Amino acid sequence: MTTRPDVGDTIPDIALETPGGGSVRPSDFRGRPLVMFFYPKDDTPGCTTENKDFSALAAEFERAGVALLGVSKDPPKKHEKFTTKYGLVAPLASDPVENGLADALGIWAEKRLYGRTYMGMERTTYLVDPEGRIVQVWRKVKVKGHAEAVLAAANATFPIQD
């Protein structure tokens, strides 16, 4: 069992693939707070709701100076279709199938459903400070009200300076 990075640790700087063939790393957001929300699979009920909720609040996160990034192991083409289908505005990235960021965070884990064991993403959200340190973690997230709770935490942690 790997040690899971937690509050106070620096988020691992592992490249993710973006739709359109680019890449993004957590360090690309240095200088501003970042919310990274990891979810199991595009186009499933809970994941669709979570992505729609973060997208609905994207302008609020932007006003707070906080970047958003949704991450799953789905390929970039699937993210493109998912984004288009639901009009999502929160950016998405694809985590490598093996040795990716979710593996380094310990959230690509063994899961059980109906007696079947498989590897899957634990729905987890990280609030990261401008220096790349984790300031809050939500593990095994329940989707209802989650995006709002993350926005409230971001606003409380990083108040807007006038």
How many Cα atoms within 13 Å fall on the side-chain side of residue 42? Answer: 23
Place of tokens 């340190």: 133
Q: Where are the beta strands (DSSP E) in the chain?
A: 16-17, 23-24, 34-38, 67-72, 92-94, 108-113, 116-121, 124-128, 134-138
Place of tokens 């926005």: 151
How many Cα atoms within 13 Å fall on the side-chain side of residue 22? Answer: 10
- Catalytic site residues? 47
How far apart (Å, rounded) are the C-alpha atoms in residues 118 and 109?
A: 8
Tell which residue, 102, 139, 136, has the closest CA to residue 7.
Answer: 136
How far apart (Å, rounded) are the C-alpha atoms in residues 38 and 13?
A: 15
